[in-house]
Amino acid sequence: MRINRNLNLRICLLLFIVFASCHNRQELTVHQSHAAITGAYPGYNILPAKPDTAGMSSTAVQLAAKMKIGWNLGNTLEATGGETAWGNPEVTNALIMAVKQSGFNAVRIPCAWDQYANQSTGKIKDAWLSRVKQVVQYCIDNNMYVVLNIHWDGGWLENNCIPEKKDAVNAKQKAYWEQIATSMRDFDEHLIFASANEPAVANAAQLDILLSYHQTFIDAVRSTGGKNAYRTLVVQGPSTDFDKTLRMMTKIPEDKVKNRLMLEVHSYTPYQFALMEKDEKWGNQFYYWGRSYHSSFDTAHNATWGEESEINRISKAMKARFVDKGIPVIIGEFGVIRRSSLTGNTLSRHLNARAYYLKYFVKQTISNGLIPFYWDEGGLGNNSFGIFNRYTNTVFDKQALDSLMHGTN
């Protein structure tokens, strides 16, 4: 959302610390930006707390090792118009218990904040902060790790990694994270904050702007003190795209607390299998993924790219580029839609191929030190990802669930 306000922005020096090159590989540098974001909204870090180490001993690497496989509470707290606006019921502890009992030990909570905020002051409604905190509490009461973000949220951040929006977005990012972090400050290391969702970045200049948004996020959270002084934080690669991140993300934001940052990417590879909902003139959907699952009677819908070797490639590359350098990587979203409108052998082969993909993806990414979070939007019909019936808090898609869990073994 465009903010028509004059921002007084004091820009400090951008300093890049270049790590020594090893084996001719490009190393990460630290992106430093200490811009004072003032003038647009009141400061919401009113009562910073004394740093509190209780329950916050794990580094990002140690915390990542405790997270087995995650699940997304999709199309719910980020829904435009309210928690139930996109067809899901209000979240209950019973749902989170069902997710935990099914084998997940982490929950990603996509969350909107802008629609609950006063656009003149940046103040988030107390009732919404309390509701989100309640859902976080459900997860932590079930001994689950939680990744809480600012999701698409109307696109005010992720559609605006551009110079003309930089000051306004940084001002809003600061105001929102000061409030979110203060509200959630007393949760221990089971709660992790994530700066954004899928910030659209096309070039190095836009990446630098995104890094300023991440820097504002980190500085705002740390400034609130308490357990937030040591909380593990997640920043997103450009467009949360594997290859863009591998190619472009040579800088990371600066954090005064060492070893408490993670990186996030998403994967819906190959698109024709994971997301495509109808055949197009330029190409067909992939119903069947994996050479052993190709169809001899419906060859037009066999995958032609993005199969096992591609999952292997991107997983190993992320490991070498980030995980091996002490920066854990979460795959914040992945999954394949269920094309349940198919019939007969076509449906059976498709669902078997989908199950194989889910198992393979989880196994391969975990073996390379990545943490996968399955995207579940709550849907139960055709072209949906849903595993759980959220109205009955029961497993709807046992085949997919079993495949995901088998991948963790």
Average pLDDT over residues 300-329: 98
User: What is the percent of the chain with per-residue pLDDT over 90, rounded to a whole number?
Assistant: 90
pLDDT for res 28: 65
Q: Would residue 164 show up in a list of annotated catalytic residues for this protein?
A: no
* pLDDT of 32 above 70: no
Sign, CA torsion 340/69/158/136 = positive
pLDDT one-digit tens code per residue, 200-213: 999 999 999 999 99
pLDDT at residue 23, rounded to an integer: 39
Structure token pair of residue 373: 């979070």
d(CA 260, CA 340): 42
Residues 383, 385, 388, 390, CA torsion sign: negative
Beta bridge partners of 233: 193, 261
State the pLDDT at residue 219: 98
Q: Is the pLDDT of residue 354 over 50?
A: yes
Inside any domain, residue 131: yes
Look at residue 53 and tell me whether its pLDDT is greater than 70: yes
Residue of 198, 254, 264, 307 marked catalytic: 198
Question: Is 146 part of any domain?
Answer: yes
Secondary-structure breakdown of the chain: helix, strand, coil percentages, each rounded to the nearest 5: 35, 20, 45
Is residue 191 within 8 A of residue 203, CB to CB? The reply is no
**Residue-level pLDDT at 260:** 98
In the DSSP assignment, the letter for residue 238 is E
Q: How confident is the model at residue 395 (pLDDT cuts 50, 70, 90)?
A: very high
Report yes or no on 1 lying in a domain.
no
| 38: pLDDT strictly greater than 70 | no
Q: How far apart are CA 334 and CA 274, in angstroms?
A: 8
C-alpha 269: how far from chain center: 16
| Other CB atoms within 10 Å distance of the CB of residue 339 | 20
Residue 381: the pLDDT is 95
* Residue 217 belongs to a domain: yes
Residue 113: predicted pLDDT: 98
For the chain, the C-alpha Rg in angstroms (whole number) is 21
Specify the amino acid at residue 179. Q
Residue with the bigger pLDDT between 40 and 375: it is: 375
Q: Are 227 and 54 in contact (CB under 8 A)?
A: yes
Specify if 30 maps to a domain.
yes
Nearest to 95 by CA among 382, 369, 376: 376
User: For position 48, which CATH number holds?
Assistant: 3.20.20.80
Q: Does residue 36 carry a pLDDT above 90?
A: no
Tell me the average pLDDT across 248-256.
Answer: 96
Question: Cβ distance 195 to 150 under 8 Å?
Answer: yes
Q: Is the pLDDT of residue 284 over 80?
A: yes
The answer on pLDDT for 149 being more than 70 is yes
Decide if pLDDT at 304 tops 80: yes
Confidence of residue 348 (pLDDT cuts 50, 70, 90): very high
Sole residue written with tokens 């698409």: 152
Average pLDDT score over the chain: 92
Least confident of 13-22, 98-107, 368-377: 13-22
Q: What is the pLDDT, as a whole number, of residue 62?
A: 98
102 is written with which tokens?
């099914």
Asked if residue 2 is part of any domain, the answer here is no
**For residues 387-409, average pLDDT:** 98
**Degrees to nearest 5, angle at CA 252 with 249 and 258:** 145
Position 16 scores a pLDDT of 31
- Domain count of the chain? 1
pLDDT attached to residue 39: 54
Domain that holds residue 132: 8-407
Q: Which residue has the higher pLDDT, 19 or 39?
A: 39
Element (H, E) at 140: helix 126-141
Q: Could you count the other beta carbons within 10 Å of the beta carbon of residue 271?
A: 13
Task: Say if 3 falls within a structural domain.
Answer: no
pLDDT of residue 40: 83
Annotated catalytic residue, options 83, 189, 333, 377: 333
Residue 299, CB-side half-sphere exposure with 13 Å CA sphere: 1
Question: Does residue 169 lie within any of the structural domains?
Answer: yes
Weakest-pLDDT range from 34-43, 57-66, 263-272: 34-43
- For residue 10, give the DSSP letter: E
Known catalytic residue: 333?
Answer: yes
pLDDT the model gives residue 8: 37
Pick the range with the lowest mean pLDDT from 17-26, 132-141, 218-227. 17-26
Q: What is the pLDDT of residues 256-271, one digit of tens each?
A: 999 999 999 999 999 9
Task: Give yes or no for residue 4 having a pLDDT over 60.
Answer: no
